[in-house]
């Protein structure tokens, strides 16, 4: 009987960020997928935004952890803690909080195997979620873009998140052909770290690299101006002392372009393997592009020129997967019956 007081959840448990949609309410939580644990007591010191602020600044007694690597559970207990956090945060004002056991739709990489899927389900159920339905992130993105994925017309979706880039051709509610590659936002952050280390002999943090990517990230060929620079601080690898240098958009482009080209090549390879009848559908539509990577300046245009198809960046691409999971939550019985998992 307590299920009546539970709020069903649509969850995008991302490698970098997690977003939670509540049935009838919309998105209620958007936080980093980061947790700080006190190793002496085993207790959670911080979670989400507060844990990310602590990254790189903690004493030995506190460790920073993430539950996923490339979209796959790497730490069961940390994943369980995150699901508990979602349930408790959503139901924090409920008088029946100790008894609620909501249902949840969770977006996952399309290449998730059976063992990985069961591990994710087990973590969610152990955290108090009574029923779990997994859907591929690309299908969730399509739903988040308000597409009718149950139609026979094929559509291509690219979701470039923090840990993976998911590429799928979808028709009749299922994935006809697709692949998931472990090249995404975190890869680009690491590319920037390595580039600045090699070219400028400066060691910077992951968060500093992420900020540079957001501020200066580009793959465009358009001329840059003098204002498109950023000052960055780190440790000089020659002297070992603090140092500040200036980084330009050209630097960031040089750093990330090799990984970007691998993503573009993966998209091309999926198109080359797409059945002819669906390929004709793609010519009459646009590639749906979602995830944080879609916000990189010039990337949609680069993909479009490389594959000879238009590319459409969805509205609010960072929340597309969560909104798609929310669409399934709103019509749970229909989608659980009709979606091909």
Helix or strand (DSSP H, E) at 250: helix 249-273
| CA angle in degrees (0–180, nearest 5) for 127-132-133 | 150
Give percent helix, percent strand, percent coil of the chain, each to the nearest 5.
40, 25, 30
Q: What distance in Å separates the CA atoms of residue 265 and residue 155, rounded to the nearest whole number?
A: 18
Q: Are residues 12 and 141 in contact, defined by beta-carbon separation less than 8 angstroms? A: no
| Residue 264 CA, distance from chain mean position | 18
Strands laid side by side in the 242-248 sheet: 202-203, 229-236, 242-248
pLDDT in tens, the chain (341 residues): 445 557 899 999 988 999 999 999 999 999 999 999 998 888 889 999 999 998 888 888 899 998 888 778 888 888 999 999 998 888 775 545 555 688 999 999 988 889 989 999 999 999 989 999 999 999 999 999 999 888 888 999 999 999 999 999 999 889 999 999 999 999 999 999 999 999 999 999 999 999 999 999 999 887 666 567 899 999 999 999 999 999 999 999 999 999 999 999 999 999 999 999 898 899 888 999 999 999 999 999 999 999 999 999 999 999 999 999 999 999 988 888 877 54
In sequence order, what are the beta bridge partners of 229?
A: 248
Helix or strand (DSSP H, E) at 65: strand 62-65
In sequence order, what are the beta bridge partners of 220?
A: none
**Residue 175 phi, psi dihedral angles, 5° rounding:** -90, 120
Both tokens assigned to 214: 């957001």
- CA-based nearest residue to 266, from 150, 148, 187: 187
Coil/strand/helix, residue 128 = coil
Strands laid side by side in the 311-313 sheet: 174-181, 165-171, 155-160, 287-290, 311-313
């Amino acid at each position: 009987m307590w299920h009546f007081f539970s709020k069903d959840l649509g969850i995008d448990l991302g490698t970098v960020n997690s977003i939670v949609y509540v049935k009838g309410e919309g998105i209620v939580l958007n936080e980093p997928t980061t947790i700080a644990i006190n190793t002496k007591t085993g207790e959670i010191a911080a979670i989400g935004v507060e844990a990310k602020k602590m990254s790189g600044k903690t004493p030995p007694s506190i460790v920073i952890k993430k539950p996923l690597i490339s979209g796959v559970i790497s730490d069961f207990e940390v994943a369980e803690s995150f699901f508990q956090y979602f349930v408790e945060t959503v139901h924090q004002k409920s008088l029946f909080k100790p008894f609620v056991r909501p249902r949840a739709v969770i977006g996952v990489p399309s290449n998730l195997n059976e063992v990985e899927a069961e591990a994710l389900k087990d973590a969610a159920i152990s955290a108090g979620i009574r029923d779990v339905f997994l859907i591929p992130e690309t299908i969730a993105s399509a739903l988040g873009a308000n597409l009718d994925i149950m139609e026979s017309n094929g559509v291509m979706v690219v979701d470039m998140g923090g840990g993976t880039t998911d590429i799928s051709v979808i028709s009749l509610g299922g994935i006809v052909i697709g692949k998931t590659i472990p090249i995404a936002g975190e890869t680009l952050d690491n590319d920037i770290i390595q580039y600045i280390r090699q070219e400028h002999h400066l060691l910077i943090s992951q968060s500093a690299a992420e900020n540079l990517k957001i501020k200066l990230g580009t793959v465009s060929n358009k001329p840059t101006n003098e204002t498109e620079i950023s000052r960055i601080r780190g440790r000089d690898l020659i002297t070992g002392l603090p140092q500040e240098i200036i980084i330009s958009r050209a630097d960031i482009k040089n750093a990330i372009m090799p990984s970007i080209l691998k993503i573009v090549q993966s998209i091309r390879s999926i198109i080359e393997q797409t059945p002819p009848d669906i390929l004709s559908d793609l010519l009459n539509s646009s590639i749906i592009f979602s995830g944080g990577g879609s916000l990189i300046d010039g990337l949609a245009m680069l993909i479009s020129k490389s594959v000879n198809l238009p590319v459409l960046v969805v509205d609010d691409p960072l929340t597309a997967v969560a909104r798609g999971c929310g669409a399934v939550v709103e019509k749970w019985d229909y989608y659980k019956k009709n979606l091909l998992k």
